[in-house]
């Protein structure tokens, strides 16, 4: 074999569409098993390949979006990828789980909750969706139930209750923040 024969293999992508699909499946499986960092690295490598026409598993964009948001702190790109997965593969509950996780990373608990509920509607027995929902916790009832949460008469007693419960100290706040 001459050096001329070896050159095209080195300059062109030696990976076939089937191999890309196989590597993507492996990355998704690593993520599903809990090895998110390693799984994300594999998925990111697949995303950088030249073969955009490869049919990738439904969870590929979902986990890639979560990984981009979590490890690279690129929240808008992570949201776009996770949303794409949830919209294109709306019948897969794990896509809604990862979209909810990205929303939690951005601080949007309302949209995270909404997507966890969407996922649970698809698969009420999905354990990770349940665990994430429980991990989010529940909001306490407003201090004055017939007033909206945004009313100052509900906000101030709610803040005091929050501080007295000790939750404020865990989140890094101190009692001087309550002063006007």
Percent of the chain with pLDDT over 70: 82
* Mutual angle of helices 36-47 and 59-71, in 10-degree steps: 110
Q: What is the mean pLDDT of the chain?
A: 83
Q: Inform me whether the pLDDT recorded for 111 exceeds 80.
A: yes
pLDDT of 76 reads 96
Counting every residue written for the chain, the total comes to 180
CB 96 within 8 A of CB 82: no
At which residue do the structure tokens 């702190």 appear?
A: 73
User: Domains in the chain, ordered, with CATH?
Assistant: 14-138 (1.25.40.10), 141-180 (no CATH)
The mean pLDDT value for 126-141 works out to 89
More confident residue, 53 or 68: 68
Q: Inform me whether the pLDDT recorded for 1 exceeds 80.
A: no
The mean pLDDT value for 121-143 works out to 90
pLDDT of 54 reads 67
- For the record, the structure tokens of 170 come out as 């865990």
Burial of 31 (0-12, 13-18, 19+ CB in 10 A): buried
- Tens digit of each residue's pLDDT (9 = 90 or more) over 74-97: 999 999 999 999 999 999 999 999
The mean pLDDT value for 15-25 works out to 83
Q: Inform me whether the pLDDT recorded for 174 exceeds 70.
A: no
């Amino acid at each position: 074999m001459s050096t001329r024969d070896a050159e095209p293999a080195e300059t062109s992508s030696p990976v076939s569409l089937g191999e890309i699909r196989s590597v993507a499946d492996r990355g998704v499986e690593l993520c599903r098993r809990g090895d998110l960092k390693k799984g994300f690295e594999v998925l990111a490598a697949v995303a950088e390949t030249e073969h955009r026409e490869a049919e990738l598993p439904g969870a590929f964009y979902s986990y890639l979006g979560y990984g981009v948001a979590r490890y690279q702190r690129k929240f808008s790109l992570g949201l776009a990828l996770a949303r794409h997965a949830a919209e294109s593969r709306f019948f897969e509950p794990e896509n809604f789980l990862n979209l909810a996780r990205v929303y939690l990373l951005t601080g949007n608990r309302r949209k995270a909750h909404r997507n966890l509920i969407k996922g649970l509607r698809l698969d009420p027995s999905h354990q990770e969706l349940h665990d994430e929902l429980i991990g989010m916790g529940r909001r306490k009832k407003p201090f004055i139930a017939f007033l909206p949460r945004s009313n100052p008469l509900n906000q101030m007693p709610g803040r005091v209750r929050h501080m007295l419960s000790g939750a404020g100290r865990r989140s890094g706040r101190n009692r001087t923040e309550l002063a006007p």
